[in-house]
Amino acid sequence: MLDATSLAAIRLSIELSVVTTLSLLVLGTPLAWWLARGRSRWRLPIRSLVALPLVLPPSVLGFYLLVTLGANGPIGQITQSLGWGTLAFTFWGLLIGSLVYSLPFVVQPLINAFEAVGERPLEAAATLRAGPLDAFWHVALPLARPGYLTGAVMGFAHTLGEFGVVLMIGGNIPGQTRVISVQIYDHVEALEYTQAHWLAGGMLVFSFGVLLTLHWLQPPTRRRA
């Protein structure tokens, strides 16, 4: 059915997606909170920057990441001086690329969720003796839960399906940087259509299942506040 390299690719893809999604949920929360509620004039430029991966071709993104992470790039210089070598063509390089690539898919739902929560519940919480942090944890976060669900699913699914950026900065090293999408490409190149079918079909079923679950969990109409 599935050969060893395919199984390794599946494992790597899932690992990468889980770590990326969890990191983005943690890092994306303060960013989305600030973008949704801040008053800084930097808000709109940063918001546009966050959304860039939505419109840029993955190869463009991958190219710049490769340059940045490479031996002469700014991040490459830092990682080398720390004795880590360059991150391009490693799992960590792939992770950084995924974080950038999937950022808008996680942050945008969080922004929408925080905007939908609005000011009022937090004011109500303040009149009920909840300090800002208390109100964030016990009012804003629970109310933004649908956004977290959407963000997590979208982030996971997108990282799992990413191809262009991976190819640019991760290359195609079995067990290290070869993820499912690249593996499918390899199978097709090698005319191993059966293997390609299993993987591609698996991705299709999985993605459909994820979206269906999301729609089930998401209430069709927003509840009254």
Closest approach of another protein to the CB of residue 39, in Å = 14
The HSE-up count of residue 91 (CA atoms within 13 Å, CB side) is 13
**CB nearer another protein, residue 215 or residue 224:** 224
Choose which of 125, 152, 153, 165 interacts with another protein (CB under 8 A). 125
In three-state secondary structure terms, 165 is: helix
Long-range contacts from 207-212, C-beta under 8 angstroms, 24+ separation: 207/157, 207/160, 207/161, 210/153, 210/156, 210/157, 211/153, 211/157
Question: Is there binding between residue 129 and another protein (CB under 8 A)?
Answer: yes
Say what the alpha-carbon torsion angle 211, 216, 218, 220 is, to the nearest 10 degrees. Answer: 110
**CB nearer another protein, residue 74 or residue 132:** 132
Closest approach of another protein to the CB of residue 138, in Å = 8
**CB nearer another protein, residue 191 or residue 222:** 222
Q: How far apart are CA 25 and CA 27, in angstroms?
A: 6
Question: Is there binding between residue 220 and another protein (CB under 8 A)?
Answer: no
Question: Is there binding between residue 11 and another protein (CB under 8 A)?
Answer: no
User: Which residues would be at the binding site for another protein (CB under 8 A)?
Assistant: 120-121, 123-132, 134-135, 138-139, 142-143, 145, 223-225
